[in-house]
Chain A
């Protein structure tokens, strides 16, 4: 079972990634049809597969999620977000910060309300910033101590900037508190 943190708790993961061998799902078999997706499974597919087999995925009883690379434009999913239960952003390296912008755009510009999951090179010391950018689920890299990583969410109790988790920046909250006091 993959190690997953969701809403700051360790949890099991029902989602099944279809990352490997994308071509298999795009290549017609002997019957001339591309293979059918597992009907009931909750599937995470890369953007390319989503583009090409969107309707097939959506008509299943199972839920659908899309995995974005950090250089994919999240705007491409804008019209689909209502029907997606999950968007995953794949971090190729923990130090590649593009995915932080992807998260904020999905939440703040495109209004995505489903699960936003960080996958790939996801490490303890980036969790809090990821959460502030709108991620609520984290598939940590295999070698991470997931239990210990939960402590990272408590590293800081406040922040200056507006962010997804605190849309009002500190300066406005300070002024509001000052006005009350």
Chain B
């Protein structure tokens, strides 16, 4: 993790004092609801009808074990003993009492944590690849750049009352594991021909009710200009983004209304005034920030671990887990491990306080005392020696955190939905569970292969259903919960092949009871169409289009048109 210096710490402490006073004034009737709302939201506090919620920032998803233990303590002391990891790599606690929140923030500050800008119309938590710093395909360690952008965005005076929330993702590897094409700004690290580092700057992507894939307005921005270029984009957005309609206020709408070329020109004109100014980054600053990150003291290990190989051969369950939940590492003899928070029957992303404590103990013993939250709502131990994998697996299994489903359709991403959220049209969690129950045959799920399944309880799309290979959206039909099904979405080029894409709705929606059947029909259709085991669901959809799936799903006999589609796609 990034270790605060005295100034970082003081800013967080001062924020606690500020919010304590704001809360005091609100409770004393000196601050109107609407005014306090803007202040508490930028401290992550929602006061919803049936469930208040505190969203705690986990900058770029990186946590130390003292921090995780503190989160466990907060969940136990101020909440109902569990927390929910979100798709923005944060942690949400439900049911905190407003009166307690200043104290909760004070406790967080003791472990260099906060809830700054986890909501409100400002720059939110920067998200990134959960394999940052350890991935074999790394270009830069994106954590360093995330921290630099975090500091730029924290209490940024000019960009604190934007037209709408603003989400930035940074990817530092060849594969895009940060969904950079569906963020307000996505930054993709690259090296140019001279080996210099820079960023592809993607603007105007996003999900929500008007999903869009972003536009690359700069193919290569040299790293030293990163902050001034962000200033230019944000200034154009702050001045000209729509404020008359909350549903048209995101930067994607501004970019669309201006047109990508006109928008780019406007940003470049603004940037011409800012480029090479005092916010131009210095190499020494990159070094300083990098040096403040703790680094694992890796042992010198052979890449092959005989004990690991023997366990793979001897233990089929372990081998299944290792295949799905263990990932390659740039340091010989090490691996990254995903702890699945997608066990059937547990709401996706939920962890109890006791589990948090147990996970912290395991991270101390097996992974240098740190862990990450992934935007798919799982946890990652990034630095596990391969020779320890079998022992770790046994301990994770005992905690219910070793479901071997990473990348599979039971690794469902879901928002809290109608059980918790006042915005939702429909519940998400029971639907996720019914799908997991339907696909409880692990061999079958292995055979189906990689398949992202995302569920959102309303069109605000917190479950990112637009970029699920299969996306499910809760809709309200005359007061009853129904679910729309779409396919073909893709969060990004996580591997060479299908690019970031938005799903297409297949047809009329289903009742909750019908959803598992519908998913099964789609999966069967895929299995019939795929030409090789390596061809994923999403690859087939991109090859043949949605029509064959539509026909299969709604039971129509459109075989002829399906064949036409295939011929068309092949042509």
Residues in chain A within 8 A of chain B (CB atoms): 94-98, 100-101, 104, 109, 123, 125-126, 128-130, 132-133, 145, 155-163, 167-172, 174-175, 178
Contacts and interface: CB of A to CB of B under 8 A. Distances in A.
Contacts of B39: 125
B30 interface: yes
Nearest to B285: A171
A152 B120 CA distance: 20
B210 interface: no
Interface in B263-304: 273, 277-279, 281-282, 284-285, 288
Most chain B beta-carbon contacts within 10 A, residue among A94, A155, A163: A155
A159 B18 contact: no
B542 interface: no
Contacts of A161: 152, 155-157, 279
Interface string B1-26: 00001010011001101100010000
A156 B279 contact: no
Given A101-B239, A155-B18, A169 B159 contact: no
A104 B284 CA distance: 27
B282 A170 contact: no
A158 B10 contact: yes
Contacts of B324: none
B155 A160 contact: yes
Contacts of A175: 282, 284-285, 288
9 contacts: A95-B121, A98-B243, A101-B235, A109-B273, A161-B156, A162-B278, A171-B151, A172-B278, A178-B288
Contact of B35 (A94, A145, A155, A172): A94
A100 B284 contact: no
Given A97-B159, A160-B155, A174-B288, 16 more contacts: A94-B35, A94-B38, A97-B162, A100-B158, A100-B238, A104-B158, A109-B273, A145-B30, A156-B14, A160-B11, A160-B154, A169-B227, A171-B148, A171-B151, A171-B285, A172-B278
B288 A95 contact: no
Contact of A125 (B35, B121, B163, B243): B35
Contacts of B163: 97
Contacts of A126: 161
Given A125-B35, A145-B30, A100 B157 contact: yes
Contacts of B281: 171
A129 B243 contact: no
A170 B151 contact: yes
B160 interface: yes
Given A145-B30, A155-B14, A169 B157 contact: no
A129 B514 CA distance: 52
A98 B237 CA distance: 9
Contacts of B157: 100, 128-130, 132-133, 159, 161, 163
A129 B238 CA distance: 15
A126 B22 CA distance: 12
A98 B239 contact: yes
Given A168-B278, A172-B282, A158 B11 contact: yes
A156 B155 contact: yes
10 A-B pairs with the lowest CB-CB distances in the bound complex, closest first? A97-B161, A132-B157, A129-B157, A160-B151, A171-B285, A100-B158, A155-B18, A162-B278, A162-B279, A156-B14
Nearest to B155: A159
A158 B239 contact: no
A65 B406 CA distance: 63
A69 to B, nearest CB: 12
Nearest to A168: B278
B154 A169 contact: no
B278 A170 contact: no
B155 A97 contact: no
B30 A129 contact: no
Nearest to B148: A171
A125 B285 contact: no
Contact of B22 (A101, A125, A178): A125
Nearest to A151: B21
Contacts of B30: 145
A132 B161 CA distance: 14
Contacts of B15: 156
Contacts of A129: 155, 157-158, 160
A144 to B, nearest CB: 10
A116 B121 CA distance: 25
Nearest to B151: A160
Contacts of B288: 171, 174-175, 178
A102 B266 CA distance: 16
A151 to B, nearest CB: 8
A96 B161 contact: yes
Contacts of A130: 157
Interface string B31-71: 00001001100000000000000000000000000000000
Nearest to B7: A158
A160 B35 contact: no
B5 to A, nearest CB: 8
Contacts of B285: 171-172, 174-175
A167 B30 CA distance: 34
Given A101-B238, A132-B157, A133-B158, A95 B152 contact: no
A169 B279 contact: yes
A100 B160 CA distance: 9
B20 to A, nearest CB: 11
Most chain A beta-carbon contacts within 10 A, residue among B10, B161, B284: B161
Nearest to B160: A129
A101 B282 CA distance: 25
A108 B14 CA distance: 28
Nearest to A145: B30
Given A101-B238, A170-B151, A156 B35 contact: no
B158 A160 contact: no
Nearest to B15: A156
B238 A97 contact: yes
Contacts of A170: 7, 151
Nearest to A154: B14
Nearest to B236: A101
